[in-house]
Structure 1
Amino acid sequence: MTNHHVLTWHVTESGGYETAWIELDGSTLRARGRVVGTVPEPYWITYELKTVDDFVTQRLQATAEMTDMTAELDLRRAEDGRWTVDGEPAPDLYGALDCDLGLSPLTNTMPVLRHALHRTPGEREFLMAWIHVPDLTVRPNRQTYTHLSASRVRYASGTYRADLTLDADGLVVAYPGLAKRL
């Protein structure tokens, strides 16, 4: 059964908003979104995200428009686990299953759903293809997700921690210090 969502978050950390059209179908996710922010500078981002089975990222395409420049990103993960960034190999991302678009509550969904961490106990560490906003540069990033209670998951990266509230579909409702769904 396919679940369709159109969600908007007030992204306080960027002084902006994100709206995403999301399709959850079994163990796959597709999304198209638009992001507008004012911090660290005014920007507008459009993106398309596609996962394959088990919510593993297959491709993220994004375009960011800023005052003086435009950045584009074509991030892909092949079946053998190799990543490319704009067609160039990215061996430092090998082993990552997910992308994480900076300042976007949507991209916290994939690792949570893969391990049902919004429903069942557990803690998982991930290597992520983390995308800096607004310039869309990509780098590896280690993150940990820990089930706290029904619909509550702790996100951690380095010394940063946030306790996320998720809905029954594993989509972020509140991300303290970052975003809140409208």
Structure 2
Amino acid sequence: MLKEQGHEFASLVAREDVWELSGTVIFVHEGHPTRIDYLVICDSSWSTRSVNVSGMMGSERFTIDLEVDSDQSWKRNGVAQAEVFGCVDVDLGFSPSTNILPIRRLALDVDEKAEIKVAWLQFPSFELKSLTQVYHREGGNIYRYESGGGAFKSVLAVDDIGFVIDYPGLWRAESAT
């Protein structure tokens, strides 16, 4: 997760039978200017189908392409990723925007909770790992979030669409429009 100062622009667009979550994150990481662009494609049920992450950290360029089939088998740049088999959602470790995916997919009622496993693209290593997460909808736009078996806990405030607008100590939206 980002603790450094920076900015992100993210958008969610419905196109025919898919959802497109895209954005750009710009910040300084360990003294290096960093720009990361991402595009996540989900089907109509909010299941992740593809992810493209590209950018620069200092002078180093990178591109990561993830593909997910209907059996939740993942490939990274064409290579099978057994570690994340069965994961429905992706979590981009450099942005809170991908929290919208399980929030929309699960459509929890107030006081409902769900435990899921996500394909977590860690930052800054960009390793892909399985991560257990718990979402507990405590109020209309408030979710208690846990990951790593409770090792990390936070209370997320989201807007009416499901984008995180406050991730205490890590991220806060400057504008929700």
Question: Normalising by structure 1, what TM-score?
Answer: 0.85
Q: Which has the higher contact order (CA 8 A, sep 6+)?
A: 1
Q: Runs of 5+ in structure 1 lacking a partner?
A: 1-10
When structure 1 is superposed on structure 2, of 93-102 and 171-180 the one drifting more is 171-180
How far has the Cα of 1:173 moved from its partner? 1.3
The aligned residue for residue 67 of structure 2 is 76
Q: 1:80 to 1:46 in 2, by over 3 A?
A: same
Q: How has the CA–CA distance of structure 1 residues 135 and 44 changed in structure 2, closer, same or farther, with 3 Å as cutoff? A: farther
Q: Which of the numbers 93, 97, 104 marks the counterpart of 1:106?
A: 97
Q: 1:17 & 1:149 partners in 2: Cα distance?
A: 27
AA aligned to 1:72 is T
> What is the aligned-residue identity percentage?
26
Alignment of 1:28-177 (within 5 A): 28-42=18-32, 43-117=34-108, 119-158=109-148, 159-177=151-169
The list of structure 1 runs, each at least 4 consecutive aligned residues, that deviate by more than 4 angstroms after superposition, is 24-28
Compared with structure 1, are the counterparts of its residues 26 and 14 closer, same or farther at alpha carbon in structure 2 (3 Å cutoff)?
farther
Checking the alignment, whether the CA contact within 8 Å between 1:153 and 1:163 is kept in structure 2 is: yes
Preserved CA contact (<8 Å) 2:29 2:57: no
Alpha-carbon RMSD = 2.0
**Structure 2 stretches lacking a partner, 5+ long:** none
TM-score normalised per structure 2:
0.88
